[in-house]
């Protein structure tokens, strides 16, 4: 049984007088223990809303409807009430956000914020908690941890803040870590440090990681399995190597062609996808990507394409997929 | 091309653009948002009634507001209350209270508008010059800004009531005095607000873009920085209309307003009523209610406009 | 060799740090740009790359005289810009334009597209009457791939990519020689980035434009540029033709930067050698002595690196310039990389006494595929 089994997750936002938005529209994926799973997509594809729904962090108010299931062991994360969710968050499932500054409390020293987690979930207090906090900061590579404990978030650099946030996330050795664009706000060399830290944590502690990102390069270097999202649905899902070597969905293929690569020369035109993410067809009317797709055929319109899976467990939602180009490494 | 692919193209065109429709400017957009806010509509409703009353009121009232028609019925300790002919009774001089209330709306509106205009004009002038100088003017500009803003700071440091009393002492008690005093008090608020907004806008990318296009500095200040800095000032003006009416009432109440009570004004009516609070509290209650409701109308509209114009709340 | 359009010599931009309640007292300087020389050839693209705070944007603005330089010279097609009187500078601006990172904030929200595009023409008295101006604008819109109905629209009615096209149209409508593009694609979605990069390349071919492209994304810069300059803390550390810098990065910082860029290819990612830099970027208000990179450099030597600031010097064949004392020895393998202790960089006051235990330098190739 997988560690986390998300089935048919959907999130809709409706407001009086406005069109209902299906931000997530039937997303299914599974995460095995110790595995790194990527959710990739551009703005508005539903990747962040998916993570917020799993963490129970979407506002519980009229107009927000969550459907489907997300089985984490025996509990359905989507059906859990706020009180038990507070116990699960931080202890079993933890999250790292894009902007470390706004996810830390600006007026509370780092040390207190870290020990708070330890007190809440592991019952550590006083000197024991302090010692453990120092140990944690040391583990995520924050130099001179006992001194850092007394500092406020604004006194740390962006990279150090993200490390502090990671320290809080792994404080209770969670089984699952969700990282939402953890390096987008950071410089390239700092990004490399943080990614390396995440790799180490996964390797050493066996934590499973859901990596949410728009950066295909980050995915290529980290993830075991990759789910590509478009307009709220998974449009392609495969293990890392087959996905990059042999993308079947024209959108995935287009994304790969859009990214300038260090190892390609000047003058080669990028293979851009036309239009913008605003030009979507509503899923019930056909494939949402059809208006931007170079490969579209008549069958693309009328009904949404189903997710088909080939023998290599490479799944894609397309009626006219890219032809196979390479021999697939298993 | 097949019908189905045709359909896709049409759909994507639909989602991308409505060709015949004209662009929507930010002002239009803001107006649309104000129209969708219930509290703003309540505010506007109140203000429409108030303005209508102020304009046509004098022709509608049953009696002249200055005619001492019931003077014989007023005795020490007795002021006749509401009756079928005089809905709100007499005032302390035997004049029809209802007529005075209706006619007084005009003076009150006048005080509010004129004093706000005084504050807005002077404040925007000082703030605009300081803001443009600070934003674009290099070393000399910064010096000009510094001098202007220190003067404004000094004005701001004086208690507003003290300032108003001194102006009244200088010019003598009259409605004009009240308007000038209330207006001058709001000058620093407008000046600081506009200058602050302009300095922020001057640092924005589109100003840099215009500079790099080679547009003249004065043109940038007038056609980019100023229009983009007006929103908070307009909101403040609406809110100031409310406070101006209350402040003017306060000054009249203190006896700095028009000493001639023949032309009714709500603040003055309130001031007169204070001596008869124990005899006929209604004399004070109705003008006070008028002031409060009108001020509420302006405040509701102002707050709704603040939300509609705030770029941070824009989606 | 092609003709040079822009010559920058020893350009410096120092921002004073002021403190004080009544009278501002200058307590120090942020040396955002501290002595940069570069040449941009006509019709070519110079790519300037570096991490946040390295001064690349300030350099772009100082080159256009939008931020007054503290020292040095900028020569644009034979005209010295730093001493040019304001009026002549203003008319010179027609020939050098700028494209901004954030397409929303660089467009006046209260101007419609027509007014945005006309503004420059009016400022320079170009285009004669309204109908003629409309023709020029229509052509520019066409060139950047926007429909004509865009003219009456306002910026907030467009998507991010379309807004960036408006910004590009505003620049090309004046028919400039040079365009400085400051992070032109970093605010855009991946699929839109490619469209804008392609557009910039097409416009360059059609109009013979010269570009200075400033970006933090090495892959973007490498893709679009003929020559790449790498900046670190206010100075160029390496400059070379785009292919050379990718094939043989010489400066330790460039090597680290190059190895840190994720490549969307699992095969490459699994094989590559990662040079992880220890610690954060030092504050430009208090830069390290000598070579500014020596505090984080895995190849730093006890002599010279900490005391003597390396000049940008030609290494190998003509066009490759590097600012490092020990390039040759590093290249030949004579100097081996070692671990570096991370120095703690406080965001506010610089506490330099604290040394931590973050020790990472060279990751062995072929890390386990988690």
Domain identity same for A297 and A190:
no
pLDDT > 70? residue A189: yes
Burial tier of C168 (Cβ tally within 10 Å: 0-12, 13-18, 19+): buried
H or E element, residue C221: helix C218-224
Nearest to B26 among C90, C109, C174 (CB): C109
Nearest to A301 among B7, B15, B16 (CB): B7
Nearest to B23 among C91, C108, C112 (CB): C112
Q: What is the mean pLDDT of chain C?
A: 86
Domain identity same for A70 and A88:
yes
Domain identity same for C176 and C90:
yes
First-to-last CA distance in chain C? Answer: 49
Flag whether B97 is in a domain: yes
Flag whether A285 is in a domain: yes
Q: Assign residue A159 a region: left if phi > 0, alpha if psi is -120 to 50, beta otherwise?
A: alpha
Minimum CA–CA partner of A153 in chain C = C347
With contact defined as 3+ CB pairs under 8 Å, the chains touching A are B, C
Q: What is the mean pLDDT of chain B?
A: 81
Supply the CATH number for residue B232's domain.
1.10.3720.10
pLDDT for C203: 94
User: Which residues of chain A does C219 touch, with a Cβ-Cβ cutoff of 8 Å?
Assistant: 259-262
Domain identity same for C136 and C204:
yes
Q: Count up the domains in chain A and report the number.
A: 2
User: Which residues of chain A does C246 touch, with a Cβ-Cβ cutoff of 8 Å?
Assistant: 262-263
User: Which residues of chain A does C341 touch, with a Cβ-Cβ cutoff of 8 Å?
Assistant: 143
pLDDT for C170: 95
pLDDT for B88: 78
pLDDT > 70? residue A285: yes
Q: Count up the domains in chain C and report the number.
A: 2
Chain A touched by C216 (CB under 8 Å): yes
H or E element, residue C227: strand C227-232
Domain identity same for A161 and A12:
yes
Does residue A144 or residue C366 have the better pLDDT? Answer: A144
- Tell if the CB–CB gap between A300 and B2 is shorter than 8 Å: no
Other C-beta atoms closer than 10 Å to the C-beta of A214 total 17
- Segment A197-216 shows an average pLDDT of 91
Q: Which residues contact C318 (CB under 8 A, 6 or more apart)?
A: none
Give C205's pLDDT tier (boundaries 50, 70, 90).
Answer: very high
- Tell if the CB–CB gap between C100 and B205 is shorter than 8 Å: yes
Does residue A328 or residue A157 have the better pLDDT? Answer: A157
pLDDT for B85: 76
pLDDT for A327: 52
Flag whether B16 is in a domain: no
Show which of C209, C238, C267 is a domain's final residue.
C238
Flag whether A323 is in a domain: no
Flag whether C243 is in a domain: no
Q: Which segment of B6-20, B49-63, C122-136, C296-310 scores lowest on mean pLDDT?
A: B6-20
Nearest to C66 among B212, B216, B228 (CB): B212
- Segment A226-251 shows an average pLDDT of 92
pLDDT > 90? residue A211: yes
Domain identity same for A30 and A176:
yes
Domain identity same for A171 and A248:
no
Does residue C169 or residue A326 have the better pLDDT? Answer: C169
pLDDT > 90? residue B101: no
Nearest to B214 among C61, C91, C100 (CB): C91
Domain identity same for A133 and A250:
no
Other C-beta atoms closer than 10 Å to the C-beta of B77 total 8
* CA neighbor of B127 nearest in space, from B217, B221, B17: B221
User: Which residues of chain A does B7 touch, with a Cβ-Cβ cutoff of 8 Å?
Assistant: 301
Q: Is A288 helix (H, G, I), strand (E, B) or coil?
A: coil
CA distance C28 to C108: 35
Show which of A209, A229, A249 is a domain's final residue.
A229
Q: Are A71 and A114 in contact (CB under 8 A)?
A: no
A202 Cα to chain C: minimum distance (Å): 8
Flag whether B29 is in a domain: no
Flag whether C325 is in a domain: yes
B213-244 burial code (b ≥16 CB/10 A, e <16)? bbbebeebbebbbbbbbbbbbebbbbbbbbbb
pLDDT for C345: 55
Q: Which segment of A114-118, A171-175, C341-345 scores lowest on mean pLDDT?
A: C341-345
Domain identity same for C214 and C301:
no
Domain identity same for C110 and C230:
yes
pLDDT > 50? residue A330: no
With contact defined as 3+ CB pairs under 8 Å, the chains touching B are A, C
- Tell if the CB–CB gap between B17 and C154 is shorter than 8 Å: no
- Tell if the CB–CB gap between C344 and A224 is shorter than 8 Å: no
Domain identity same for A150 and A204:
yes
- Tell if the CB–CB gap between C108 and B311 is shorter than 8 Å: no
- Tell if the CB–CB gap between C97 and B213 is shorter than 8 Å: yes
Domain identity same for A143 and A128:
yes
With contact defined as 3+ CB pairs under 8 Å, the chains touching C are A, B
Substitution target from B13, B19, B23 for chain C, most C beta carbons within 10 A? B23
pLDDT for C343: 61
pLDDT for A27: 93
Domain identity same for C353 and C320:
yes
Nearest to C262 among A143, A218, A273 (CB): A218
User: Which residues of chain A does C358 touch, with a Cβ-Cβ cutoff of 8 Å?
Assistant: 141-143
C227: β partners: C46, C241
pLDDT > 90? residue B305: no
C191 Cα to chain B: minimum distance (Å): 17
Q: Count up the domains in chain B and report the number.
A: 1
pLDDT > 80? residue B93: no
Q: Which residues contact C266 (CB under 8 A, 6 or more apart)?
A: A220, A221, A240, A241, A244, A245, C369
A95: β partners: A178
Flag whether B240 is in a domain: yes
Nearest to A42 among C191, C259, C280 (CB): C191
Chain A touched by C225 (CB under 8 Å): yes
pLDDT > 50? residue C364: no
Flag whether B289 is in a domain: yes
Q: Kindly state the DSSP code that residue A98 receives in the 8-state scheme.
A: S
CA distance B271 to B265: 10
3-state secondary structure chain B: CCHHHHHHHHHHHHHHCCCCCCCCCHHHHHHHHHHCCHHHHHHHHHHHHHHHHHHHHHHHCCCCCCCCCCCCCCECCECCCCCCCCCCCECCCCCEHHHHHHHHHHHHHHHHHHHHHHHHHHHHHHHHHHHHHHHHCHHHHHHHHHHHHHHHHHHHHCCHHHHHHHHHHHHCCCHHHHHHHHHHHHHHHHHHHHHHHHHHHHCCHHHHHHHHHCCCHHHHHHHHHHHHHHHHHHHHHHHHHHHHHHHHHHHHHCCCCCCCCCCCCHHHHHHHHHHHCCCCCHHHHHHHHHHHHHHHHHHHHHHHHHHHHCCCCCC
User: Which residues of chain A does B2 touch, with a Cβ-Cβ cutoff of 8 Å?
Assistant: 298
Give C362's pLDDT tier (boundaries 50, 70, 90).
Answer: very low
Q: Which segment of B123-137, C148-162, C222-236, C348-362 scores lowest on mean pLDDT?
A: C348-362
- Tell if the CB–CB gap between C190 and A138 is shorter than 8 Å: no
Domain identity same for A105 and A138:
yes
Q: What are phi and psi of C117, to 5 degrees?
A: -80, -25
Model confidence over C221-238: pLDDT tens digits?
999 999 999 999 999 999
pLDDT for A229: 94
Nearest to B12 among A291, A300, A302 (CB): A291
Chain B touched by A288 (CB under 8 Å): no
Other C-beta atoms closer than 10 Å to the C-beta of B71 total 12
Range of the domain at B175: 37-79+87-309
Flag whether A324 is in a domain: no
Flag whether C368 is in a domain: no
Chain C touched by B77 (CB under 8 Å): no
CA distance A215 to A281: 24
Minimum CA–CA partner of C255 in chain A = A189
* CA neighbor of A157 nearest in space, from C189, C191, C277: C277
Domain identity same for C180 and C304:
no
CB contacts under 8 A, C 57-116 vs A, are none
- Tell if the CB–CB gap between B23 and C157 is shorter than 8 Å: yes
Supply the CATH number for residue A212's domain.
3.40.50.300
Supply the CATH number for residue C194's domain.
3.40.50.300
pLDDT > 50? residue B13: no
Domain identity same for C226 and C118:
yes
pLDDT > 60? residue C353: no
Model confidence over B171-213: pLDDT tens digits?
887 888 888 888 888 899 999 999 999 999 998 899 999 999 9
A82 Cα to chain C: minimum distance (Å): 34
Show which of C238, C262, C296 is a domain's final residue.
C238
pLDDT for B165: 79
CA distance C44 to C209: 7
Domain identity same for C64 and C120:
yes
Model confidence over A42-52: pLDDT tens digits?
888 888 899 99
Chain B touched by A303 (CB under 8 Å): no
Nearest to A301 among B8, B15, B16 (CB): B8
Domain identity same for C234 and C253:
no
Give C1's pLDDT tier (boundaries 50, 70, 90).
Answer: low
Flag whether A102 is in a domain: yes
Nearest to A291 among B2, B4, B8 (CB): B8
User: Which residues of chain C does A258 touch, with a Cβ-Cβ cutoff of 8 Å?
Assistant: 190-191, 193-194
Q: Which segment of A31-40, A138-147, A299-308, B161-170 scores lowest on mean pLDDT?
A: B161-170
Does residue C239 or residue B109 have the better pLDDT? Answer: C239
Model confidence over C86-113: pLDDT tens digits?
899 999 999 999 999 888 889 998 889 9
Range of the domain at A283: 231-261+269-316
CA distance C341 to C297: 10
- Segment C330-336 shows an average pLDDT of 85
CB contacts under 8 A, A 123-162 vs B, are none
Q: ∠ CA B148-B154-B159 to the nearest 5 degrees?
A: 140
User: Which residues of chain A does B16 touch, with a Cβ-Cβ cutoff of 8 Å?
Assistant: 275, 278-279
Domain identity same for C54 and C172:
yes
pLDDT for A267: 63
Flag whether A322 is in a domain: no
Domain identity same for A215 and A237:
no
CA distance A274 to A250: 12
Minimum CA–CA partner of B225 in chain C = C108
Q: Kindly state the DSSP code that residue C99 receives in the 8-state scheme.
A: E
Does residue B199 or residue B83 have the better pLDDT? Answer: B199
Give C354's pLDDT tier (boundaries 50, 70, 90).
Answer: very low
Range of the domain at C71: 4-238
- Tell if the CB–CB gap between A296 and B7 is shorter than 8 Å: no
Domain identity same for C215 and C300:
no
pLDDT > 50? residue B9: no
Q: What is the pTM of this model?
A: 0.84
Q: Kindly state the DSSP code that residue C188 receives in the 8-state scheme.
A: S
A287 Cα to chain B: minimum distance (Å): 10
pLDDT > 80? residue C368: no
Model confidence over B113-149: pLDDT tens digits?
999 999 999 999 999 999 998 877 777 888 889 899 9
Model confidence over B227-258: pLDDT tens digits?
889 888 988 898 888 888 888 888 877 877 77
CA distance A51 to C82: 52
pLDDT for A157: 83
Nearest to A189 among C223, C260, C264 (CB): C260
- Tell if the CB–CB gap between B8 and A280 is shorter than 8 Å: no
* CA neighbor of A6 nearest in space, from A204, A174, A241, A208: A208
Substitution target from A290, A304, A305, A319 for chain B, most B beta carbons within 10 A? A290
Chain B touched by A74 (CB under 8 Å): no
Domain identity same for A289 and A202:
no
pLDDT for A186: 84
Domain identity same for C196 and C282:
no
Q: What is the mean pLDDT of chain A?
A: 87
- Segment A128-156 shows an average pLDDT of 87
pLDDT > 50? residue B15: no
Chain A touched by C344 (CB under 8 Å): yes
Flag whether C91 is in a domain: yes
- Tell if the CB–CB gap between B11 and A291 is shorter than 8 Å: yes
Task: Report the largest interatomic distance among the alpha carbons of chain A, rounded to a whole angstrom.
Answer: 69
B185 Cα to chain A: minimum distance (Å): 37
pLDDT > 60? residue C43: yes
Flag whether B14 is in a domain: no
User: Which residues of chain A does C347 touch, with a Cβ-Cβ cutoff of 8 Å?
Assistant: 154-157
Q: Which residues contact B95 (CB under 8 A, 6 or more apart)?
A: B63, B65, B66, B67, B68, B69, B70
Minimum CA–CA partner of B19 in chain C = C149
pLDDT for C73: 94
Model confidence over A20-29: pLDDT tens digits?
888 899 899 9
Domain identity same for A300 and A151:
no
Chain C touched by B219 (CB under 8 Å): yes
pLDDT > 50? residue C317: yes
Model confidence over A48-78: pLDDT tens digits?
899 999 998 888 777 888 999 999 988 899 9
């Amino acid at each position: 049984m997988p560690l986390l089994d998300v089935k048919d997750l959907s999130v809709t936002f409706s407001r009086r007088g406005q069109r209902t938005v299906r931000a997530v529209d039937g997303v299914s994926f599974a995460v095995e223990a110790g595995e790194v799973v990527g959710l990739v997509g551009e703005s508005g594809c539903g990747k962040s809303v998916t993570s917020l729904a799993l963490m129970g962090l979407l506002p519980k108010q009229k107009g927000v409807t969550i459907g489907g299931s997300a089985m984490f062991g025996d509990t359905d994360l989507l059906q859990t009430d706020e009180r038990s969710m507070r116990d699960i968050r931080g202890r079993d499932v933890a999250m790292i956000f894009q902007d470390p500054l706004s996810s830390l409390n600006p007026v509370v020293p780092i040390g207190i914020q870290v020990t708070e987690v330890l007190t809440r979930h592991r019952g550590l207090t006083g000197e024991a908690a302090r010692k453990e906090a120092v140990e944690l900061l040391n583990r995520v590579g924050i130099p001179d941890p006992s001194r850092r404990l007394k500092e406020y978030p604004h006194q740390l650099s962006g990279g150090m803040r993200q490390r502090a946030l990671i320290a809080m996330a792994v404080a209770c050795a969670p089984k699952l870590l969700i990282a939402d664009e953890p390096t987008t706000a950071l410089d390239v060399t700092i990004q490399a440090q943080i990614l390396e830290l995440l790799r180490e944590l996964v390797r050493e502690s066996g934590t499973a990681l859901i990596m949410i990102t728009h950066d295909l390069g980050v995915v290529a270097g980290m993830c075991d399995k990759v789910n590509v999202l478009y307009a709220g649905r998974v449009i392609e899902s495969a293990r890392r190597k087959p996905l990059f070597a042999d993308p079947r969905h024209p959108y995935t293929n287009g994304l790969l062609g859009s990214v300038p690569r260090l190892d390609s020369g000047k003058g080669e035109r990028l293979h851009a996808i036309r239009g913008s993410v605003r030009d979507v067809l509503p899923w019930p009317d056909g494939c949402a990507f059809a208006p931007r797709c170079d490969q579209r055929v008549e069958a693309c319109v009328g009904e949404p394409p189903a997710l088909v899976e080939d023998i290599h467990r490479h799944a894609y939602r397309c009626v006219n997929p890219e032809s196979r180009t390479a021999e697939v490494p298993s | 091309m097949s019908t189905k692919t045709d359909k896709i193209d049409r759909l994507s065109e639909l989602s991308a653009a409505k060709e015949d429709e004209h662009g929507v400017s930010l002002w239009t957009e803001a107006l649309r948002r104000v129209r969708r806010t219930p509290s703003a509509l309540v505010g506007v409703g109140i203000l429409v009634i108030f303005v209508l009353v102020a304009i046509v009121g004098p022709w509608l009232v049953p009696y002249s507001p200055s005619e001492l028609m019931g003077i014989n019925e007023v005795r020490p300790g007795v002021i006749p209350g509401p009756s079928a002919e005089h809905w709100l009774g007499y005032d302390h001089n035997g004049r029809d209270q209802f007529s005075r209330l209706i006619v007084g709306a005009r003076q009150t509106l006048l005080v509010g508008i004129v004093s706000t205009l005084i504050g807005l004009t002077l404040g925007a002038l000082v703030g605009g010059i300081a803001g443009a100088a600070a934003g674009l003017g290099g070393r000399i500009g910064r010096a000009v800004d510094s001098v202007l803003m220190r003067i404004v700071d000094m004005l701001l440091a004086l208690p507003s009531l003290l300032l108003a009393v001194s102006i009244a002492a200088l010019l003598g008690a009259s409605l004009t005095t009240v308007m000038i005093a209330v207006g001058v008090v709001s000058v620093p608020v407008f000046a600081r607000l506009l200058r602050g907004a302009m300095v922020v806008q001057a640092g924005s990318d589109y100003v840099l873009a215009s500079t790099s296009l080679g547009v003249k500095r004065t043109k940038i200040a007038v056609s980019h920085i100023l229009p983009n800095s007006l929103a908070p000032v307009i909101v403040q003006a609406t809110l100031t209309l409310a406070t101006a009416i209350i402040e003017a009432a306060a000054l009249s109440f203190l006896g700095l307003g028009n000493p001639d009570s023949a032309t009714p004004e709500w603040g003055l009516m309130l001031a007169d009523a204070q001596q008869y609070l124990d005899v006929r509290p209604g004399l004070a209650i109705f003008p006070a209610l008028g002031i409060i409701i009108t001020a509420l109308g302006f405040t509701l509209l102002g707050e709704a406009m603040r939300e509609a114009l705030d770029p941070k709340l824009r989606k | 060799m092609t003709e040079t359009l822009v010559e920058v010599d020893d350009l410096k931009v120092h921002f004073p740090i002021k403190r004080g309640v009544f009278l501002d007292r200058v307590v120090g300087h942020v040396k955002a740009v501290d002595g940069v020389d570069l040449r941009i050839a006509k019709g070519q693209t110079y790519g300037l790359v570096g991490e946040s705070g390295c001064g690349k944007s300030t350099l772009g603005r100082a080159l256009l005289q939008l931020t007054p330089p503290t020292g040095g010279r900028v020569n644009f097609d034979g005209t010295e810009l730093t001493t040019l009187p304001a009026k002549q500078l203003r008319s010179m601006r027609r020939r050098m334009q700028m494209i901004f990172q954030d397409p929303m904030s660089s467009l006046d929200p209260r101007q419609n597209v027509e007014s945005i595009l006309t503004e420059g023409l009016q400022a320079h008295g170009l285009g004669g009457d309204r109908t003629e101006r409309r023709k020029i604008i229509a052509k520019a819109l066409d060139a950047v791939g926007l429909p004509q109905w865009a003219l009456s629209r306002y910026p907030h009615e467009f998507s991010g990519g379309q807004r960036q096209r408006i910004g590009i149209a505003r620049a090309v409508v004046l028919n400039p020689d040079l365009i400085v593009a400051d992070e032109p694609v970093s605010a855009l979605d991946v699929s839109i980035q490619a469209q804008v990069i392609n557009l910039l390349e097409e416009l360059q071919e059609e109009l013979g434009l010269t570009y200075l492209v400033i970006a933090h994304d090495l892959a973007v810069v490498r893709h679009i540029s003929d020559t790449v300059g790498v900046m670190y803390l206010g100075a160029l550390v390496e400059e070379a033709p785009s292919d050379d810098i990718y094939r043989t990065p010489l400066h330790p910082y460039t090597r680290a930067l190059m190895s840190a860029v994720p490549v969307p290819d699992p095969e490459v990612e699994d094989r590559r050698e990662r040079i992880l830099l220890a610690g954060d970027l030092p504050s430009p208000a208090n830069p390290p002595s000598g070579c500014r990179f020596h505090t984080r450099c895995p190849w730093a030597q006890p002599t010279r690196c900490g005391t003597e600031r390396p000049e940008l010097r030609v290494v190998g064949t003509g066009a490759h310039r590097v600012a490092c004392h020990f390039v040759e020895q590093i290249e030949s393998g004579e100097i081996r990389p070692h671990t570096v202790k991370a120095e703690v960089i406080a965001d506010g006051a610089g506490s330099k006494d604290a040394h931590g235990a973050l020790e990472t330098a060279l990751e062995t190739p072929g890390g386990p595929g988690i």
